[in-house]
Amino acid sequence: MYSVTFKWKEVVIYSEDGCTFWFPAGWGVDPPVLYIPSDDLWERVTPSCMHGRRDVIVERLQADSKHVLKELDRLFEHRSRDE
């Protein structure tokens, strides 16, 4: 079971079976934007429970958040898997 929830105005949280990751978002634009790490960066910045599952998770984020998804690695490069 998974969930896509909103925290404040600029964070979308993906959770599944105790695994959670916060994605930055932008509400001040129309349509709203959700930023995701590129395929190359995905496994370096996401928890191990999300590895090998990018396509499924991105599809769920797109469907449930109603945001336009954009890759923007500079928002994630400072993160480690444990954050």
pLDDT at 83 over 50: no
Q: Does some domain include residue 36?
A: yes
Counted domains in the chain: 1
pTM of the predicted structure, to 2 decimals: 0.88
Q: Does some domain include residue 43?
A: yes
Q: Does some domain include residue 58?
A: yes
Query: Are 38 and 73 spatial neighbours (Cβ–Cβ below 8 Å)?
Result: yes
Q: Does some domain include residue 82?
A: no
Per DSSP, the residues of 21-63 read EEEEEE-SSSS-EEEE--HHHHHHHS-GGGTT-HHHHHHHHHH
Q: Which amino acid is at 11?
A: V
Q: Does some domain include residue 51?
A: yes
Q: Does some domain include residue 34?
A: yes
pLDDT score recorded for residue 80: 62
Mean pLDDT score of the chain, rounded to an integer? 92
Q: Does some domain include residue 31?
A: yes
pLDDT tier, 77 (very low <50, low <70, confident <90, very high otherwise): confident
pLDDT score recorded for residue 14: 98
Helix, strand, or coil (residue 72) = coil
pLDDT score recorded for residue 9: 75
Range of the domain at 27: 2-75
Q: Does some domain include residue 13?
A: yes
pLDDT at 43 over 80: yes
